[in-house]
Amino acid sequence: MKAILVGQFGGPEVLKLEEAPTPQPGSGQVLVRIHAAGVNPYDTYMRTGTYAQKPPLPYTPGSDGAGMIEAVGDGVKKVKKGDRVYTAKTVTGAYAEYALALEEQVHPLPANISFSQGAGVWVPYGTAYHALIHSSKAHSSETVLVHGASGGVGTASVQMARAMGLTVFGTAGTSKGLDLVKREGAHQVFDHRKAGYQDDILKATGGRGVDIILEMLANVNLAHDLKLIATRGRVIVIGNRGEVTINARELMARRGSIRAFTLWGITSAEEADIHAGLIAGLENGTLRPVVAKELPLGEAARAHKEILEPGAAGKIVLVP
């Protein structure tokens, strides 16, 4: 089979399309014919070798794939050959024509969701769900600011929060991104590249502040976020690419809190919750993964460059 292999940590150029043996499922494992693989920012951090998760070399990247079950190993009961699935982590990596996964790492992909959309389910929607439901414990009557709403996690968060009844504000850095965020359900959108946009957000709440901020770039925004939250407001740190200085007095004055997580650290009970919620939302059309771009598997290096560039508009997926 064709697969992307990383033989050494480094820049995007270390992602090489190579011929590799097609794996065979062992006991409790399944083989998925990957029709699309989702590209997530953490795939790029991992590739550099500086991320908390450092795989042994060589490795094939990718936790998020969608496709069909090709074969199942002994004892597998949940799925059978021909089933449509999305993956939430894999054993051998999703940037490939075939990926091995544990039985519990595959989940049914509803018929109304394309494979490319399915490749954008696990990390983006799992993160949005965990941030809104488990971490912020959002209530329908609250206001959420999705700070960085045009990308994978952002569009997922906007759709989910809107469906839950919250008042949704979203930011993006391009007019295309702003249009997308509005279309996916934000009540109001703000350009995070425009000077003073934070004042416009505060004005839109009548000076009260927002109840929840889902923060995609904490190193840039966290200090100011603390001035944008209402009394008992919560900032949920999802993305961060550096250090930041905050004034804790802003938090104290508002009895606010900052919470943070990585999807790697969640419990299996939380993960079970997430998949149940996501599958229901995908089935009933509430959750509609937005595919920005489909690239051939061999263009993984380009995908890794583009995902870190400004101008997000949903997910970038690789098609083997």
Please identify, using beta-carbon distances, which residue of 148 and 209 lies nearer to ligand NAP.
148
CA angle 208, 209, 212 (to 5 degrees): 140
291 interacts with ligand NAP by CB under 6 A: no
Interacting residue with ligand NAP among 160, 238, 297, 317 (CB under 6 A): 238
Closest-by-Cβ residue to ligand NAP is: 151
Interacting residue with ligand NAP among 148, 185, 277, 320 (CB under 6 A): 148
Contact call for residues 225 and 243 (beta carbons, < 8 A): no
Binding-residue total with ligand NAP (CB under 6 A): 33
Residue 281: closest CA among 104, 121, 150, 69: 121
216 interacts with ligand NAP by CB under 6 A: yes
Residues 6+ apart with CB under 8 A from 195: none
Subset of 101-130 contacting ligand NAP (CB under 6 A) = 123-124, 127
Please identify, using beta-carbon distances, which residue of 46 and 71 lies nearer to ligand NAP.
46
**Considering the complex, what minimum distance in angstroms separates the CB of residue 25 from ligand NAP?**
28
Residue 82: closest CA among 63, 59, 106: 106
**Considering the complex, what minimum distance in angstroms separates the CB of residue 18 from ligand NAP?**
26
Beta pairing class for 98-102 and 29-39: antiparallel
Q: Which amino acid is at 200?
A: D
Describe the strand order of the beta sheet including 229-237 as a list of residue ranges.
188-191, 167-172, 143-147, 210-215, 229-237, 257-260
287 interacts with ligand NAP by CB under 6 A: no
Residue 187: closest CA among 207, 209, 165: 165
Residue 66: closest CA among 110, 17, 22: 110
Contact call for residues 183 and 313 (beta carbons, < 8 A): no
Interacting residue with ligand NAP among 5, 31, 41, 90 (CB under 6 A): 41
**Considering the complex, what minimum distance in angstroms separates the CB of residue 281 from ligand NAP?**
17
3-state secondary structure of 202: helix
Beta bridge partner(s), residue 33: 68, 98
Interacting residue with ligand NAP among 76, 220, 287, 297 (CB under 6 A): 220
The DSSP secondary-structure symbol of 201 reads: H
**Considering the complex, what minimum distance in angstroms separates the CB of residue 293 from ligand NAP?**
11
183 interacts with ligand NAP by CB under 6 A: no
**Considering the complex, what minimum distance in angstroms separates the CB of residue 241 from ligand NAP?**
6
Please identify, using beta-carbon distances, which residue of 69 and 312 lies nearer to ligand NAP.
312
Residues that bind ligand NAP (CB under 6 A): 40-42, 123-124, 127, 147-154, 171-174, 177, 192, 216-217, 220-221, 238-239, 261-263, 307, 310-312
